[in-house]
């Protein structure tokens, strides 16, 4: 066992003992001896530029910076001798010389202002005027008359976010910190992560929230409501109102950092169009009603459906935005109250191919490693993920590694922010992942770069795999994927030789007709090179929504119960657990439900937290299906597009700030969602609604839960891998499953000695079958849809925040060559037409997309890009092929 050495020191005359390696400042914080630290932020390396934290060590007349000086055995430290205090006062006095005293009085809580007051300097200060305040940014104000040149903003932007927005210019008295726009902050390259405002000790860069809402009375630690990174946040609260959000500095996930969505985009929760009463649509008009009436009405209609058409005439959707507990209950409701396996969730449209591929080959359909492996990897294979925009905190951590010299291999049809750091950008033609990955495997085998021992001991299917893969030379693949063989060879060598190599992938791999096979191809590469089951390696899907992993793991999937237990094998176990008979037939997934609705076989849907009509591809066909339903219940915060057009009953729900439960992030971490504020009167948490509905439908005995903790305890009984994860153990930062016993520490890395599937994993030889969606004379371009930084999915939340002031529409990104031939100009509204439909959106002429390809986001309901997208879907799990639609682009005037 590693032995920790203790160091004995004397601080201000008292003896203490600390672990070695700490700075004097670290230990002063522990014993709560406070000294000014104006250039210090624990997220950054110590800079020792403000010189206010100086202390006396071993009576040396030269004072030492406590932030930079390590403790040593026998050290005698004095922190508040009169001469030290005088020295500090002198420094602070100099800093305050030109400083506007009015701001010290207005914001006494600011770190710098606190010390001015502490040392009694405020009364000495001149009445300097404030500078002109730059209000241009939606979330931050800038007043550089309050800058004290601590450079925390500059360093945190460079080191944590890697954005390099703030710059120091000039010297001496003329020294200034300015943004890279040189004029208004809003014109800078800022990505609005807010780290500079967070660290600024004076308020020179200040959150508008602080000005608008004031200081919180207390803070509550909880989890971000957006993506699958699962950043931990500290939410400020006053009078049951959110005042602002900061990053949890000690979180192992985000390490004190957040992106613009997690930090700032929370005001949707107080949006004036939030629905706070249940509603029933009668004669085409919405009527506000009571919960009792709404639930009885739903119960009566659902029972009519079951009576007339059978339980399989109803389809139920859980939500990747709802908690594990909500999702556990909704699938239990479908199976035990309605009696159908027709239950699915939005994981179907994004990462179901990942779950399928990884469970088929490895036995567990989840990330093999953890975010903490980022700092252990030498090479990053970033496949089909624009991480810096879609999972910004993971992106920032990878960027930090790239700047320290790690190798990046980017596989993406577009140039993304990572491309500038990449040693190889394999800018493949959209839809050709399989040939590219097969060719990488061919190079690895041909050149003997595979891990011989790993293959010998842990792999099967080697000979067959080798036989198929040898056909996939880089030259052959290059003709399909349009990546030069030299680049394929170089990237393959880098991935195989510079280990540990870690792979992160996103929807650029999964949202294809060969999505599941695309993930299998990545798993093959990891197995070939032994990049699995070890630190700094693995196959790691970056989940889009915060609980994608959890919603399907809870059993919102027609073919599995909770814990990915197959319905055909585990029916009797779940019948015993739930004390009721369960349906044995195969259920329908979401695309199948829509098809059944179109054919008149599915009559009713209950949809939790999911805007189906806006987000499914080929919107006209989706709408045809939804229009055919006899009855639809929507459970959501807002009247989303699906509810507006098709719902009969609307049940309003609490936001993630207003309820408890757990989420499961991309690295299998179960995280506690803590209630920050009370929901508006008339609104319930999803799980409460489900329990009440079950009661009204006569199944109260199966849903006797008075808290999310009780629900989670039932999940623990249903799924052995989380049995050891109790609510008590989730403080502060959660645990990663598998965690089968209550003394188990959780699992950071899967498949270390053996795979979940057994001692050996089988390599999968993969053939390439191009998608049927191909360009033609009429539709000569390929549209790829995807995400960007400021908006999230259907835009339900982010379009109700000032993020819409940063970006207020979707854009069509088109290569200059194609724009020229069509005659399009920047910002011009263009018409985009596919065989499925058409819409119009403004153009961005963008050399980062390939010639012949286009890119558009899908968040804006006025654009509604899914009117155009293709309904083709993955061969294994029916995830839609959002990444490939053949289209043409027309000038609006040419229509």
* Residue corresponding to tokens 């507006």: 644
What are φ and ψ of residue 144, in 5° steps? -75, 0
Other Cβ atoms less than 10 A from the Cβ of 193: the count is: 28
Q: Which of 230, 555, 558, 679 binds ligand SF4 (CB under 6 A)?
A: 230
Of 230, 325, 324, 874, the closest CA to residue 544 belongs to: 230
The footprint of ligand SF4 on residues 757-796 (CB under 6 A) is none
Q: How many helices (H) and strands (E) does the chain have?
A: 30, 37
Shortest distance in whole angstroms from residue 245 CB to ligand SF4: 9
What would the x/- binding string for ligand SF4 be over residues 700 to 739, using CB under 6 A? ----------------------------------------
d(CA 10, CA 574): 62
Shortest distance in whole angstroms from residue 134 CB to ligand SF4: 25
Kindly tell me which of 371 and 437 has the beta carbon lying closer to ligand SF4: 371
Size of the site for ligand SF4 (CB under 6 A): 14
**Long-range Cβ contact pairs of 270-276 (< 8 A, separation 24 or more):** 270/241, 270/242, 271/638, 271/800, 273/638, 273/639, 273/800, 274/637, 274/638, 274/652, 274/680, 275/636, 275/637, 275/638, 275/639, 275/650, 275/652, 276/652, 276/680, 276/681, 276/682, 276/683
Kindly tell me which of 227 and 302 has the beta carbon lying closer to ligand SF4: 227
Check residue 521 for interaction with ligand SF4 (CB under 6 A).
no
Q: Which stretch binds ligand SF4 (CB under 6 A): 60-68, 220-228, 694-702, 765-773?
A: 220-228
Burial zone of 32 (CB within 10 Å; 0-12 exposed, 13-18 middle, 19+ buried): exposed
Instruction: Return the DSSP state at 71.
Output: P
Check residue 320 for interaction with ligand SF4 (CB under 6 A).
no
Shortest distance in whole angstroms from residue 390 CB to ligand SF4: 8
Q: In sequence order, what are the beta bridge partners of 636?
A: 652
Shortest distance in whole angstroms from residue 790 CB to ligand SF4: 11
Shortest distance in whole angstroms from residue 142 CB to ligand SF4: 22
Of 358, 524, 545, 430, the closest CA to residue 785 belongs to: 430
Kindly tell me which of 488 and 797 has the beta carbon lying closer to ligand SF4: 797
Cα angle: 835, vertex 840, 844; to 5 degrees: 110
Report whether 363 contacts 612 (CB < 8 A): no
What are φ and ψ of residue 636, in 5° steps? -160, 175
Q: Which pair of structure tokens corresponds to residue 811?
A: 């854009």
Q: Which stretch binds ligand SF4 (CB under 6 A): 221-229, 335-343, 497-505, 645-653?
A: 221-229
Q: Which of 89, 246, 255, 261 binds ligand SF4 (CB under 6 A)?
A: 261
Kindly tell me which of 451 and 667 has the beta carbon lying closer to ligand SF4: 667
Other Cβ atoms less than 10 A from the Cβ of 3: the count is: 5
Check residue 544 for interaction with ligand SF4 (CB under 6 A).
no
Q: Which of 262, 435, 583, 724 binds ligand SF4 (CB under 6 A)?
A: 262
Q: Which of 393, 685, 761, 832 binds ligand SF4 (CB under 6 A)?
A: 393
Shortest distance in whole angstroms from residue 392 CB to ligand SF4: 5
Q: Which of 96, 227, 439, 761 binds ligand SF4 (CB under 6 A)?
A: 227
Helix axes 708-718, 567-578, angle to 10 degrees: 130
Check residue 350 for interaction with ligand SF4 (CB under 6 A).
no
CB-based contacts of 462, cutoff 8 Å, min separation 6:
455, 763
Q: Which of 107, 115, 151, 226 binds ligand SF4 (CB under 6 A)?
A: 226
What are φ and ψ of residue 658, in 5° steps? -115, 15
Kindly tell me which of 530 and 544 has the beta carbon lying closer to ligand SF4: 544
Cα angle: 419, vertex 425, 431; to 5 degrees: 110
Kindly tell me which of 369 and 562 has the beta carbon lying closer to ligand SF4: 369
Which residue of this chain has its Cβ atom nearest to ligand SF4 in the complex? 262
Check residue 607 for interaction with ligand SF4 (CB under 6 A).
no
* Residue corresponding to tokens 């700490």: 22
Kindly tell me which of 231 and 856 has the beta carbon lying closer to ligand SF4: 231
Q: Which of 39, 46, 258, 494 binds ligand SF4 (CB under 6 A)?
A: 258
Report whether 443 contacts 393 (CB < 8 A): no
Check residue 392 for interaction with ligand SF4 (CB under 6 A).
yes
Chain length of the chain:
895
Shortest distance in whole angstroms from residue 199 CB to ligand SF4: 17
Q: Which stretch binds ligand SF4 (CB under 6 A): 1-9, 100-108, 236-244, 387-395?
A: 387-395
Q: Across the chain, which distance is largest between two alpha carbons, in Å?
A: 91
The footprint of ligand SF4 on residues 162-191 (CB under 6 A) is none
* Residue corresponding to tokens 């459906």: 305
Strand, coil or helix: 736: strand
Q: Which of 348, 391, 534, 800 binds ligand SF4 (CB under 6 A)?
A: 391
Check residue 815 for interaction with ligand SF4 (CB under 6 A).
no
Q: Which of 95, 140, 224, 496 binds ligand SF4 (CB under 6 A)?
A: 224
Check residue 634 for interaction with ligand SF4 (CB under 6 A).
no
Q: Which of 190, 259, 597, 722 binds ligand SF4 (CB under 6 A)?
A: 259
Burial zone of 385 (CB within 10 Å; 0-12 exposed, 13-18 middle, 19+ buried): buried
Q: Which stretch binds ligand SF4 (CB under 6 A): 229-237, 563-571, 615-623, 724-732?
A: 229-237
Residues that bind ligand SF4 (CB under 6 A): 224, 226-227, 229-231, 254, 258-259, 261-262, 391-393
């Amino acid at each position: 066992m590693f032995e920790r050495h203790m160091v004995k020191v004397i601080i201000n005359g008292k003896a203490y003992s600390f672990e070695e390696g700490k700075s004097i400042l670290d230990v002063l914080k522990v014993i709560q001896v406070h000294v000014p630290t104006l250039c210090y932020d624990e997220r950054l390396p110590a800079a020792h530029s403000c010189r206010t934290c100086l202390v006396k060590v071993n009576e040396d007349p030269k004072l030492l910076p406590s932030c930079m000086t390590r403790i040593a055995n026998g050290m005698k430290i004095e922190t508040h001798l009169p001469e030290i205090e005088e020295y500090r006062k002198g420094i602070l006095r100099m800093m305050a010389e030109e400083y506007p005293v009015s701001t010290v009085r207005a914001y006494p809580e600011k770190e710098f202002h606190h010390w001015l007051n502490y040392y009694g300097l405020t009364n000495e200060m001149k009445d300097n005027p404030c500078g002109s305040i730059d209000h241009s940014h939606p979330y931050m104000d800038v007043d550089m008359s309050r800058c004290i040149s601590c450079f925390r903003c500059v360093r945190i932007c460079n080191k944590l976010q890697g954005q390099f927005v703030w710059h120091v210019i000039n010297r001496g008295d003329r020294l200034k910190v300015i943004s890279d726009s040189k004029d208004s902050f809003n014109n800078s390259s800022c990505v609005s992560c807010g780290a500079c405002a967070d660290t600024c000790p004076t308020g020179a860069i200040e959150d508008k929230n602080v000005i608008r809402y004031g200081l919180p009375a207390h803070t509550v630690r909880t989890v971000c409501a957006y993506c699958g990174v699962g950043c931990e946040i500290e939410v400020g609260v006053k009078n049951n109102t959110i005042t602002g959000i900061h990053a949890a500095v000690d979180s192992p996930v985000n390490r004190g950092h957040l992106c613009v969505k997690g930090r700032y985009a929370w005001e949707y929760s107080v949006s004036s169009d939030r629905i706070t009463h249940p509603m029933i649509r009668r004669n085409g008009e919405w009527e506000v009603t009571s919960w009792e009436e709404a639930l009885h009405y739903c119960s009566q209609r659902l029972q009519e459906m079951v009576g007339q058409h059978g339980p399989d005439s109803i389809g139920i959707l859980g939500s990747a935005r709802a908690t594990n507990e909500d999702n556990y209950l909704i699938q239990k409701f479908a199976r035990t109250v309605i009696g159908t396996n027709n239950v699915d969730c939005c994981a179907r449209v994004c990462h179901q191919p990942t779950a399928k591929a990884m469970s088929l080959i490895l036995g567990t359909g989840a990330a093999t490693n953890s975010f903490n492996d980022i700092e252990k990897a030498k090479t990053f294979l970033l496949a089909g993920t624009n991480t810096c925009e879609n999972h910004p905190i993971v992106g920032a951590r990878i960027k930090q590694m790239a700047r320290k010299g790690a190798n990046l291999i980017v596989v993406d049809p577009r140039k993304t922010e990572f491309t500038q750091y990449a040693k190889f950008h394999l800018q493949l033609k959209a839809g050709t992942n399989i040939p590219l990955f097969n060719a990488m495997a061919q190079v690895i085998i041909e050149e003997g770069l595979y891990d011989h021992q790993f293959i010998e001991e842990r792999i099967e299917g080697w000979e067959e795999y080798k036989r198929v893969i040898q056909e996939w030379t880089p030259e052959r693949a290059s003709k399909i994927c349009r990546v030069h063989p030299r680049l394929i060879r170089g990237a393959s060598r880098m991935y195989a030789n510079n280990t540990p190599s870690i792979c992160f992938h996103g929807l650029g791999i999964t949202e294809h007709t060969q999505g599941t096979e695309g993930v299998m191809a990545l798993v093959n590469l990891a197995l070939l090179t032994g990049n699995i089951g070890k630190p700094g390696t693995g196959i790691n899907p970056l989940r889009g929504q915060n609980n994608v992993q959890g919603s399907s793991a809870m059993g919102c999937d027609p073919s599995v119960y909770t814990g990915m237990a197959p319905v055909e094998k585990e029916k009797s176990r779940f019948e015993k657990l739930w004390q009721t008979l369960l349906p044995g037939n195969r259920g329908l997934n979401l695309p199948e439900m829509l098809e059944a609705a179109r054919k008149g076989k599915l009559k009713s849907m209950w949809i939790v937290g999911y805007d189906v009509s806006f987000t499914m591809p080929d919107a006209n066909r989706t709408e045809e299906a939804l229009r055919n339903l006899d009855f639809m219940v929507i459970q959501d915060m807002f009247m989303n597009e699906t509810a507006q057009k098709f719902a009969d009953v609307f049940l309003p729900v609490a936001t993630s700030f207003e309820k408890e439960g757990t989420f499961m992030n991309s690295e299998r971490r179960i995280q506690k969602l803590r209630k920050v504020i009370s929901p508006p009167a008339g609104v319930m948490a999803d799980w409460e609604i489900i329990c009440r509905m079950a009661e009204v439908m006569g199944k109260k005995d199966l849903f006797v839960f008075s808290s999310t903790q009780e629900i989670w305890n039932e999940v623990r009984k249903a799924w052995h891998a989380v049995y050891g994860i109790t609510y008590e153990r989730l403080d502060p930062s959660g645990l990663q499953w598998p965690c089968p016993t209550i003394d188990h520490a959780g699992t950071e890395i899967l498949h270390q000695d053996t795979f979940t599937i057994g001692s050996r994993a089988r390599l999968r030889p993969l053939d390439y079958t191009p998608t049927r969606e191909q360009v033609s004379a009429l539709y000569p371009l390929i549209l790829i849809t995807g995400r960007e930084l400021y908006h999230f999915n259907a835009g339900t939340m982010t379009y109700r925040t000032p993020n819409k002031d940063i970006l207020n529409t979707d854009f069509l990104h088109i290569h200059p060559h194609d724009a020229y031939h069509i005659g399009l100009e920047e910002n011009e509204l263009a018409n985009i037409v596919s065989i499925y439909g058409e819409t119009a959106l403004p153009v961005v002429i963008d050399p980062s997309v390939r010639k012949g390809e286009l890119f558009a986001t899908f968040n804006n309901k006025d654009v509604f890009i899914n009117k155009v997208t293709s309904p083709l879907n993955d061969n294994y799990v029916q995830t839609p092929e959002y990444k490939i639609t053949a289209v043409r682009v027309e000038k609006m005037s040419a229509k």
